[in-house]
Structure 1
Amino acid sequence: MRVAIVSATPALGTDDDEALLLPALRAAGAEPVVVVWDDPVLDWAAFDVIVLRSTWDYTMRRDEFLAWVTATDAVTRLRNRPDVVRWNSDKTYLRELAGYGLPVVPTEFFSPGDRPAFPAGVPFVVKPTVSAGSRNTARYDPDEHDVARGHARRLLDRGRTIMVQPYVASVDERGETALVFVGGRYSHAVIKEALLVPGERATEDKLFATEKLHPVEPSGAELAVAQAVLAAIPFPRDELLYARVDLVIGADGTPAVLELELVEPSLMLPQAPPGAADVLARAIVELGS
């Protein structure tokens, strides 16, 4: 069985998960090959399964990427599915999650032509709704509305939709909790330390931000929220090869959804318990069986 582990040219060799996933796939009887999604000559039908992994440049070419995802799935099996990728690759899905009654970090969305507004008296974050790796994302203090407005306007003038969220103070103390699921089942969780630094301006120079990660046992409340998210989305959770739910702790002490990652999330396999890569490898092999 041939398995394509799909990356992007600038991301080759940078995915920490590969060092564990590739040997686990070989041990499971598969032949994994790391490829880039925009290779113009690759025969995608020659693979039994296509697994999106470090395709972190898609946010700058989303329409092209979605067209490739659809065309590729037509000749083989791609995971996660194209309809999942389309829905999850624009963070306006957070509005849908909130509509389901899930606890989501308060988020306002602004489209080109809108006049962006920012929360009063609290730090806040501005970023495009199609983004990854903290590109074009910045944190602002309450007195930095003018600077934030310039950031927002640059994105809006380029036809980007933006989102504005209050910065959750607990992130500076305890980080975010990322809960990883494989085949719809909980696998492991990791703490991601705070990435956004006050005064650091938005940039798109880097493909992704370097994260400081630590394994953690999620609280019962965190696990319950993550499970509720996967139960609510408009896709069968058992058909998701992988999912990652990123949570923060709000001012009231309860978990809130910051993001749901179903396209190309880091799965933090180096920080996972032994055997996590084997579970993922077996799930991939089962897709091609």
Structure 2
Amino acid sequence: MNILYDVVILTDSRYLNDSKTDNYKHNVYYEDRLVYHALEQLGLKTLRLAWDDMFFDWSTTKAVLFRSTWDYFDRFDEFSEWLERISSETLLLNSEKIIRWNIDKHYLLDLQEKGVHIAESHFIEKGAKVTLAQLHDILNWNETVLKPCVSGAARHTYKLSSENLDQHEQIFQELISSESMMLQPFQYNIVKKGEISMVLFNGTFSHAVLKKAKAGDFRVQDDFGGSIENYMPTEEEIAFAEASVIACPELPIYARVDIFEDNDGDIAMTELELIEPELWFRRHKKAALALAKGVKNRLS
């Protein structure tokens, strides 16, 4: 089979087309197009497709670049099977190895072992026979956040306290019967000061944004009304982000390191996004070219 493309940019079918009425969809489409044009500018023949396209022969492209495959966590089994199949046909950016490592938030424990300071976390494994009240009593935590180990866009993310544990017990038992969960003490500074997203290409810092939750909420994602502004990080924050990426099993072509000031006043990581993170190219258009140059270097 002849190679027809250098890079296929991966999205999901909801974002294949632009929208004049839905700003969220427009932003996804626009950012992917910035990457598309940056790749083309470097002479790379490029195509943009949904990852589950049934008609495309993936062996006809040198590489695929994960950008907005934002339904993978809702179709995890299907996505996992596809990932295994495609990895034998073309180069994955980031790689299958690092994607599988990063999909499950147990990766935070690996980073912690390598000296990266993470948000305090307790993991509850699938099938565990425990209640929310028991967990909060054992851990001596009052206000907490519960989330799945495989998730995105704040799926099944709940703020808990002694006042609402009973209300969430049923959903917790349903979730824990089929997937692992994690519990973290509520981080007050994320609400007060926000969360910083640091974007890196090939381990080098590029740009950052500050995300803040809307009044009355604790989720900083813009899906839930959160705000975003450009942010100039400190040297300490940049060093933290770059050290976090170096601690990965291999160097990712792109990474987003989400950090915050924890309840003790220290820099801590909330998440390390290596699969399909939003990278805010619409705010930093030159960064799309930095990513494209990294892709070209990997191909050569």
In structure 1, the residue matched to 2:201 is 182
Does the CA-based 8 Å contact 2:32-2:67 persist in structure 1?
no
> Residues 281 and 247 of structure 1: is their aligned pair in 2 closer, same or farther, counting only changes over 3 Å?
same
**Which residue of the other structure, out of 3, 6, 27, is the alignment partner of 1:2?**
6
Greater Cα offset, 133-142 or 8-17: 8-17
Distance in 2, matches of 1:123 and 1:2, equals 49
Are the equivalent residues in 2 in contact too, given 1:2–1:47 (CA < 8 A)? Answer: yes
Structure 1 unpaired stretches of 5+ = 201-207
Check whether the contact 1:89–1:130 (CA below 8 A) recurs between aligned residues.
yes
Contact 2:196 / 2:211 at 8 angstroms: preserved in 1? yes
The AA in structure 2 aligned to 1:146 is D
Task: Quote the offset at 1:154 in angstroms.
Answer: 2.3
**8 Å CA contact retained: 1:24, 1:278:** yes
Whole-Å separation in 2 of the counterparts to 1:87 and 1:187:
23
Equivalent position to 1:147, from 158, 167, 178: 167
Higher RCO (Cα < 8 Å, 6 or more apart): 1
Q: State the AA in 1 paired with 2:89.
A: V
Rounded Cα–Cα distance in structure 2 between residues aligned with 1:169 and 1:122: 12
**Deviation string for 1:156-178 (max 9, x for gaps)?**
13x01111111211111221111
After superposition, residues 1-289 of structure 1 pair within 5 angstroms as 1-12=5-16, 13=18, 14=25, 15=28, 16-114=30-128, 115=130, 116=132, 117-118=135-136, 120=140, 122-157=142-177, 159-194=178-213, 209=224, 211-235=226-250, 237=251, 240-272=252-284, 274-289=285-300
Corresponding letter in the other structure for 2:258: D
TM-score by length of 2: 0.85
Moved more, 255-264 or 65-74: 65-74
TM-align CA RMSD: 2.4
Q: 1:257 to 1:195 in 2, by over 3 A?
A: farther
* Total equivalences in the alignment: 279
Distance between the aligned counterparts of 2:296 and 2:214, measured in 1?
A: 35
Alpha-carbon distance between aligned partners in 2 of 1:212 and 1:199, rounded to the nearest angstrom = 12
Structure 2 stretches of 5 or more lacking a match? 19-24
Larger CA Rg, structure 1 vs 2: 2
What whole-Å deviation, never above 9, does each CA across 1:141-191 have from its counterpart, x for those lacking one?
44222223333222113x011111112111112211111111221111111
What is the percent sequence identity of the aligned residues?
31
Bigger shift: residues 109-118 or 175-184: 109-118
Contact 1:11–1:56 (Cα < 8 Å) also in 2: no
Alpha-carbon distance, 1:121 to partner = 5.5
Moved more, 8-17 or 98-107: 8-17
Query: Residue 190 of structure 2 contacts residue 218 of structure 2 at CA under 8 Å; is this kept in 1?
Result: no
The alpha carbon displacement at 1:210 in A equals: 5.6
